[in-house]
Amino acid sequence: MRALSTAATGMEAQSLAVEVISHNLANMNTIAFKRQRAEFEDLLYQTVSQPGANSSDAGTIVPTGVQVGLGVNAGSVYRIAEQGGLSETGNSYDVAISGSGYFRVQLPDGNDAYTRAGNFSLSPNGEIVTADGYSVMPGIVVPAEARQVVINTQGQVQILLNGQPAPQVVGQLELATFPNEAGLEQIGDNLLLESAASGAPNLGAPTDPGFGQVRQGFVEVSNVDAVTEITSLIQAQRAYEMNARVITAADEMLATSSNLR
């Protein structure tokens, strides 16, 4: 009976949907987290009667045929790159992106990663780094004698020194955009990697055409909406229950047929 295996694929699909929703809810307070959504597609069809086949020697054709679906399959789990809200922190090294773009980060192996989490700090040598100590490219060092650090919306990092009224520019933050943001590979720690699906990064300064601006003293919060996720969770749970009932009904039908005398 095909209903058993078909309903089983439905239960597996809804189980995946619940896993994605739980991941979203677990990261409600993760800086710059982007919620995910599971998408599904129908499986192959078993053709009992081909649509359009001849049904007689007179040339009449079967208008619809008989094609029985074999269930559902996970098509993709994609990231929704919607802008999250900005939360003020007052920390001079916290920087939020308002608009398009990702900060470029250098990993310990020398490769580049990308992130929208701008909760930065200073390393022991004064370099601006991520929460894990990875260098924020292009590598900006703030002198120890700086009494104030100002990062403007264009990403220029300026410092004020004692006895010097005019600020000095010590570096320029840069952003990266991708043709397909959803194709970036997620590796955890709020980091993303370039992939064949994402396309090559396009580097530029904040406020350049196609790039967002940066806001000092803010961080971008998660774009997870609790109400939406709970609603989706209820829908997935009900769909799971209905597929389970189909399995129960199919089992009862098999039991009935096996008890025929």
Measured in whole angstroms, the distance separating CA 181 from the mean position of its chain's CA atoms is 9
Domain ranges of the chain: 2-81+225-258, 86-220
**What CA–CA distance (Å, rounded) separates 32 from 149?**
23
Which tokens hold the place of 234? Answer: 């209820």
pLDDT at 38 over 90: yes
Percent share of the chain, pLDDT over 90: 67
Residues 66 and 45 sit within 8 Å (Cβ to Cβ): no
Instruction: Tokens 């959803």: give the residue.
Output: 182
**Band of pLDDT at residue 62, cut at 50, 70 and 90:** confident
Q: What would the mean pLDDT of 43-60 be, rounded to a whole number? A: 75
What is the band of 261 on the pLDDT scale with cuts at 50, 70, 90?
Answer: low
> Does residue 227 carry a pLDDT above 70?
yes
* Site of tokens 């074999």: 70
At residue 255, the 3 state secondary structure works out as helix
Least confident window among 80-89, 163-172, 189-198: 163-172
* Average pLDDT for 96-115: 94
What average pLDDT does range 28-57 have in this prediction? 84
